[in-house]
Structure 1
Amino acid sequence: MSTKKLSEWYATAICGNDITSSCLYVSALAIVAAGQYAWVALLMVAVVLFLFRKIYGEVVGALPLNGGAYNVLLNTTTKSNASIAACLTILSYMATAVISSSEAMHYLHHILPYFNVNIATFVLLLIFLELTILGISESAVVALVIFVFHLATMGLLIGSCFFFVWQHGFSILIDNFHLPARNGSILTAIFFGFSAAMLGISGFESSSNFVEEQERGVFAKTLRNMWIAVSVLNPMIAFLVICIIPISAVESHQNSFLSYIGTLTGGKWLATIISINAVSVLSGAVLTSFVGVNGLIKRMTLDRILPNYFLKENKRGSTYRILILFFLLCLSVLLVTRGQLAPLAAVYALSFLTVMASFALGNILLKLRRSRLPRPEYAKPGVVLLAFAAIIIALYGNIMTKPQYLVTFLQYFIPSVLIILAMLLRKDIMHFIVNLLQSLSKNYKKYTLTRQRSLYRSLKKLYEQDFVFFSKGDDIATLNKVMMYLHENEVTNKMKIVTVLKEQQQPDPKFLADFDTLDRAYPEVDMEYITILGNFTPELVEELSNKWGIPKNFMFISSPGEKFSYRVDELGGVRLIL
């Protein structure tokens, strides 16, 4: 079912609510860590984000498919490596959804202290579950309203701060700059401030997880808009804060920091508006998580990492089972932590930063392994390495500040990876269970035979999935790489190799000989060579997919060159493996 594509501001609002909600807390985090140099650390983060604009632009421009870091690693390396990036992204979204919804309800509790915060958090998650089930276009309207209100509120706060400084002068700023640097030196202060401030750009990766729902050309604009918003808001607010209050007062008001600044500069009415805005924009970050994780898990399910059960759509084209699963995961985390968010903060910090690092690595692999693939922009290798180094520094800084973060993160990360690996290795696990049942069959024959038949049916269904490789008349070495990729990453014993020929064109005899050699080398795989007259077009891919009942993400091509007439996304999810 076709759904309406998102225009620039709707798409920006969905991911922008997440990243711009950071100004509610990141200025305080940076000031606590870096003191009077927090605004410098936040400007450095803006520079790093500018580098990532190029990195994301190149990767998603070359491979404009849902999945973010998972997508680029899937098309440049193995499915297991891509799955690890997917685990990190899902953990980041889960932590963001629970933390943002809980913080939103804490802000609301300051205004209306008449309800239980944990129950209200559950209700908020349920509301956004229902909203996203209704469809992305409907939820985008809500996101845009929240986004505009947030930017207007931040503009009002900044204006109020400027007026306060104009009235009271720079005496507090001068006093703050006379204080000794935090952590012993200016460089150390900026280092820890930068590490803390990097958490304020969570959400930048979200746009790449629903790029297929965006109109063409919108993705790069969402990156630009998010970068401008973060580069202006966060450093400016941090600088104005150290003009208004002593640094020593920041830590004690960290939980509702901007509301406190609003009270000082504009009065209670401004603090109330900021609190209402905080509730709405943090709720918008919850929406970002639902939309982003939906695009990612849908892609993983199409790639047979997760069961096809999750692909069922409602009348509005929404994959509601994925959304319900994510809601249940968030709810379980809320129940396990009992609303204590410190453990989740560790998961949020490290998973987000490792997702950013995965994207930089994916960009490097794209340059090395898919160099022929057309891309609208190009990030220079030095830019990619500098951005990657910045992420590693931020990771190190966060772990150094709170070593327990790493332990907490691993407690969530390792089980999620084990679940995904079990899905990837389900063929071997099923074979092991069959062998185990056979060894027990003498004593428990009736029970084991039933289980064996069930497992054999599941294995048969797995192996019967056809795969397609569109060949341009490749040599045996290339075809062997295709078969090796198939053996290492997929479960099948059926492979169609298709060559599209012009009128009166005949297959190369050498290619036919190579195919026969390959067929003998892989006796367990039923290989079929098919020639088709015509042109290789998206329409042909669609036709063959429908005719053979093979999903397009089970069709492979080698990297196209600049002369190729179509973008990869126009082929509907056909995978690059060479």
Structure 2
Amino acid sequence: MHAIDRERSRHSAELYAIWNGKPYYLDEAVKNSEKQYSYAFWSDAGSFRSDHVYRGWPSSARIEEVWDEGSRVSGVAKEDLLFFPMWEPPHASMKDWQEALGPVDTDFSEGSFFGGSPQTVRWWKELFYLYHDYYLSQGIFVGKDQTLINALFLLHPSRVITVWVSDPDAPAHQGLVSSIEGPLGSCEPQRTDAPHPPLASSNPPSFDESQFDVILRRQRVRPPLGPSRKSTTIPSRFLNLSNEFEFAGWGSFINLRLEASDYEAGEARIKMNDGMKILGQFTASALAGNAVLGSVFYALPAVVGVASVYSPISLFIATLTLFVWRPIMEELGSAFPICGAPYSYLLNISNKSLALLGAALLFLDFASTSVVSAATATSYLAGEVALPFPEFVGTIIVLLIFTVVSLSGMKESARVALCVLTLHMVTMTILIIAGAVHWANIGNGQIIENWHNGKASSASEVAKQIFNGFCLGMLGLTGFECIPAYIARIKPGRLPLVLRNLHYPAIALNCVLMTLVLAIVPLESILQGDNISSLLAEKTIGKGMRSFIVVNAIIVLCGGVLTGILSACELLEQLTLDRMIPKSFSRTMPVTNSPYISVISFIAFSAAIYASTGAQLSIVSKMFSLVWLVVMSLFPLALLLLKFNRGRLLRTPNTPFWVVLLALTLVPVVFAGNVVVDPTTAGYFAVYLIAIVFFFSATQNKTRILKWSYGIYDQFPSLHRWSLTKSYGERIINLMRTLKRQPVGILVKTDEINNLFHMILYVRDNEETACVKIVHFVDEEFGVPSELEANARILDEAFPEITIDLIIVTGCFNPINVAALAHRLNIPPSLMFMSCPGPTFKYRVADLGTRIITL
């Protein structure tokens, strides 16, 4: 029975045995005593740890006074009276208590001191163990003797006399509140001259009156432990499947002590997470820097095609917009320094549906990065040498080459990325210096000619070209969205520096390079060729520099292909851990440990994008701009939700609200501008996004789809009889049961049922499971919240489709214990949920690895 005690974490079975042995010990002492005593008393030795009010009591005179008075008031003979001190009289609500309700778990009797005549002591022993054994036989826990004493008080009020435990000199009938009649309060037999309190009242119950409901809730009786299932009167929705399938088993109570192996695993996980924070500001800048600063190879041709001679202005305005996003990204990064952003942001501040949309956009962004990088690299190569095959074949070959590279186990290294970025920046610096010198030598003749040939005929046309160039100029910032994706690997406090290190060079590189191109290269040549940078190199230095620029471009762009593949694999791995997509995506090759299903799926999707656009780089680039814009909109949206849903979370800086609104306003404006430039890109974007969202939604709602499938299967009785199809139903049921058995954890601090209810609702609506484990970490200082087990039982009954277990873990709530618990329960930390911590919480969310699901 100790297993169902709500206070088992504080009280052992041995302690309960001692408490419940008091009547026996006192009776045995009386029977075995050589002398005949008029009264015998029990006093707990443990109560003498502090000053004891009965150290000098009882005296024989005082005993006779109390027993005489008790006999006069109750009409019971002195030798039949039992003495117990009392903290307070039973509440008036106890009038509705009945024997079958079991022990009364509240504080009004004091069980550390009691006694009476020898015959009363013997009567008390027999009565105590009679009801003790009876309640145990009914499956009702009896541990604290005080709860049974309370019940026996209510059954035999006339035989109990008492004094206040804090005032042993007071007579039994003095000091009671005026609303209570008699020394026993509402336990006393009803007097003929006093009206009985009404059984019902139109007024709401007071807080004290609600205590009776608390007692009832704590004593809820369930079927015995075992295979019993919850049941319902609602009929099953399936013709050939009983409603038992819809309902899970009863939850259980577990008192858990973590073992040494669990702590070792937890410490190893914490060390591994701490060891990931190895990137300083420059190495962290290099990972995304190749994508950000390498975007000039495909951003400049796209912008000059719509903005003409106004391209430098458009690019300057476009690169300035990142000043709006930087504080937003910094605040989000300080609140959630975890990988997978912005998907991980949305997962911690909203529901899974919005997070899935973010994941779909990220996946499309990574695919567009790989396609545009591969196609641009092929285009640069085709501009230098005559390829023996069409350009689209070269793009496919590049994708296949890096598929093999990814499957071989080669992963992106920050140092390698830094070397590539350094080569790129040195090359661009040489080109810019050479271009500036060449411009000084030739004068302004070429830029003036280009200006006259490309300027618009009216002010409105000028504004249109600048706006269109501004919209496509966002391509020059692609890659910034990748920085938060690996923020967990960046040393604390370095994120603002990384954003700064990439922002300023992006402004200079895009604007200065575009201005030099217009000042040196004829506008007709600019509009006809995609290799703008190589044209500039040839004009300024010579053909050798042109070839070197092409080689540099191919190296940087191929690095972008690999970045897209690896980023997508990391995203798919995180989605697998969060059980959003099948586990098969995490399968790895035996030697290289590469996630081959993820790699092949991503490359196949990228090839489908490229093929569906007719292998046109311009269309993919414009669609890429749309995807990047929507991905960037997720950051201000996430911060807006963070301020509203997780406002207590500690973070810096505190971005002004108007900055968030400005970012959210810029996105639809620029998005509309890109659609106006080429409306077909919106169609491509919508089709690809819908396809990814449909796939992710299907994998997230596997159980629901299986239910629909079984429902359709169930409508055709012949399918249950045919040899080829009769086993389908059992297979579907087994799949659903397997999905439902995957547990998740809920880490709780308090026993507030409204908070527990909302957390269970989140799990029901967002996770495919019927197994929830409510976990509370308890230490010796605070103990288990009094109503936690009772409320967990109520929720277990309120959600019959979910089995809700309550686990009390001995230990403090800290990252090591959470990681150790995850190892013990075999639940990933990302599937252990908690409420939003406040500003005084001494750990970061990233340290715990858990997910925040409520305010």
Measured against the shorter chain, the TM-score band is: over 0.9
Conserved in 1, the CA contact under 8 Å of 2:292 and 2:477?
yes
1:244 aligns with 2:516: no
Deviation of the 1:343 alpha carbon: 4.2
The equivalent of 1:57 in structure 2 is 330
The equivalent of 1:164 in structure 2 is 438
1:126 aligns with 2:396: no
Q: Quick one: which of 499, 516, 522 aligns to 2:776?
A: 499
Q: Render the CA deviation track for 1:66-92: whole Å, top value 9, x for unaligned.
A: 222211111111111111121111112
Q: Render the CA deviation track for 1:178-197: whole Å, top value 9, x for unaligned.
A: 64467735433332221110
Whichever residue aligns with residue 85 of structure 1, its letter is G
Q: TM (normalized to structure 2)?
A: 0.64
Q: Render the CA deviation track for 1:522-547: whole Å, top value 9, x for unaligned.
A: 22221122222321111111111111
Q: Render the CA deviation track for 1:243-300: whole Å, top value 9, x for unaligned.
A: 33454553123x1111112222222122111111111111111122112212211111
1:74 aligns with 2:347: yes
Structure 1 residues 25, 505: CA separation in 2 closer, same or farther (over 3 Å shift)? closer
> 1: CA distance between counterparts of 2:278 and 2:717?
57
Q: Render the CA deviation track for 1:479-534: whole Å, top value 9, x for unaligned.
A: 11111111111111221111222214232324444434333322222112222232
The equivalent of 1:152 in structure 2 is 426
Q: Quick one: which of 264, 273, 279 aligns to 1:7?
A: 279
Whichever residue aligns with residue 645 of structure 2, its letter is R
RMSD: 2.5
Deviation of the 1:134 alpha carbon: 5.3
Whichever residue aligns with residue 146 of structure 1, its letter is V
Conserved in 2, the CA contact under 8 Å of 1:92 and 1:352?
yes
Conserved in 2, the CA contact under 8 Å of 1:80 and 1:424?
no
The equivalent of 2:134 in structure 1 is none
Conserved in 1, the CA contact under 8 Å of 2:286 and 2:418?
yes
Unaligned runs of 5+ in 1: none
**SS of residue paired to 2:581:** coil
1:227 aligns with 2:503: yes
> 1: CA distance between counterparts of 2:415 and 2:545?
26
The equivalent of 2:186 in structure 1 is none
Moved more, 342-351 or 171-180: 171-180
Deviation of the 1:459 alpha carbon: 0.6
Structure 1 residues 425, 414: CA separation in 2 closer, same or farther (over 3 Å shift)? same
The equivalent of 2:532 in structure 1 is 257
1:305 aligns with 2:580: yes
Whichever residue aligns with residue 701 of structure 2, its letter is L
The equivalent of 2:648 in structure 1 is 372
Matches within 5 A, 1:469-488: 469-488=746-765
Whichever residue aligns with residue 421 of structure 2, its letter is F
Deviation of the 1:119 alpha carbon: 4.0
Conserved in 1, the CA contact under 8 Å of 2:472 and 2:622?
no
Structure 1 residues 114, 32: CA separation in 2 closer, same or farther (over 3 Å shift)? closer
Moved more, 446-455 or 363-372: 446-455
Whichever residue aligns with residue 61 of structure 1, its letter is S
Moved more, 512-521 or 414-423: 512-521
> 1: CA distance between counterparts of 2:405 and 2:678?
37
Q: Quick one: which of 537, 542, 545 aligns to 2:814?
A: 537
Q: Render the CA deviation track for 1:421-476: whole Å, top value 9, x for unaligned.
A: 21122211101111222222335523333111111111111111111111110522
> 1: CA distance between counterparts of 2:510 and 2:715?
64
1:291 aligns with 2:566: yes
Whichever residue aligns with residue 683 of structure 2, its letter is V
Conserved in 2, the CA contact under 8 Å of 1:181 and 1:189?
no
Conserved in 1, the CA contact under 8 Å of 2:745 and 2:773?
yes
Conserved in 1, the CA contact under 8 Å of 2:411 and 2:566?
no
Deviation of the 1:138 alpha carbon: 5.1
1:433 aligns with 2:706: no
> 1: CA distance between counterparts of 2:852 and 2:742?
16
The equivalent of 1:190 in structure 2 is 466
Q: Determine which structure has more spread, i.e. the larger CA radius of gyration.
A: 2
Number of residues paired by the alignment?
577
> 2: CA distance between counterparts of 1:208 and 1:17?
15
Moved more, 297-306 or 383-392: 383-392
Conserved in 2, the CA contact under 8 Å of 1:14 and 1:284?
no
Structure 1 residues 316, 63: CA separation in 2 closer, same or farther (over 3 Å shift)? farther
Q: Quick one: which of 318, 324, 345 aligns to 1:45?
A: 318
Moved more, 105-114 or 233-242: 105-114
Whichever residue aligns with residue 263 of structure 1, its letter is E
Deviation of the 1:398 alpha carbon: 0.3
**SS of residue paired to 1:14:** helix
Whichever residue aligns with residue 70 of structure 1, its letter is Y
Unaligned runs of 5+ in 2: 1-268
Conserved in 2, the CA contact under 8 Å of 1:94 and 1:330?
yes
Conserved in 2, the CA contact under 8 Å of 1:210 and 1:295?
no
Deviation of the 1:335 alpha carbon: 5.0
Q: Quick one: which of 270, 273, 277 aligns to 2:545?
A: 270
Deviation of the 1:174 alpha carbon: 4.6
Conserved in 2, the CA contact under 8 Å of 1:346 and 1:409?
no
Whichever residue aligns with residue 284 of structure 1, its letter is G
Structure 1 residues 474, 222: CA separation in 2 closer, same or farther (over 3 Å shift)? farther
**SS of residue paired to 1:557:** strand
> 2: CA distance between counterparts of 1:573 and 1:311?
20
Deviation of the 1:115 alpha carbon: 3.6
Deviation of the 1:47 alpha carbon: 1.9
The equivalent of 2:50 in structure 1 is none
Whichever residue aligns with residue 153 of structure 1, its letter is T
> 2: CA distance between counterparts of 1:514 and 1:232?
61
Deviation of the 1:227 alpha carbon: 1.0
Matches within 5 A, 1:512-531: 512-531=789-808
> 1: CA distance between counterparts of 2:495 and 2:537?
34
Q: TM (normalized to structure 1)?
A: 0.93
Conserved in 2, the CA contact under 8 Å of 1:182 and 1:189?
no
Moved more, 451-460 or 242-251: 242-251
**Higher RCO (C-alpha 8 Å, min separation 6):** 1
Q: Quick one: which of 592, 596, 602 aligns to 1:326?
A: 602
> 1: CA distance between counterparts of 2:457 and 2:843?
55
Moved more, 438-447 or 188-197: 438-447
The equivalent of 2:627 in structure 1 is 351
Moved more, 128-137 or 404-413: 128-137
Q: Percent identity?
A: 29
Matches within 5 A, 1:398-437: 398-437=674-713
> 1: CA distance between counterparts of 2:675 and 2:615?
23
Moved more, 400-409 or 210-219: 210-219
**SS of residue paired to 1:278:** helix
Structure 1 residues 146, 400: CA separation in 2 closer, same or farther (over 3 Å shift)? same
Conserved in 1, the CA contact under 8 Å of 2:343 and 2:356?
yes
> 1: CA distance between counterparts of 2:600 and 2:413?
16
> 1: CA distance between counterparts of 2:794 and 2:853?
24
Structure 1 residues 153, 419: CA separation in 2 closer, same or farther (over 3 Å shift)? same
The equivalent of 2:741 in structure 1 is 464
The equivalent of 1:143 in structure 2 is 417
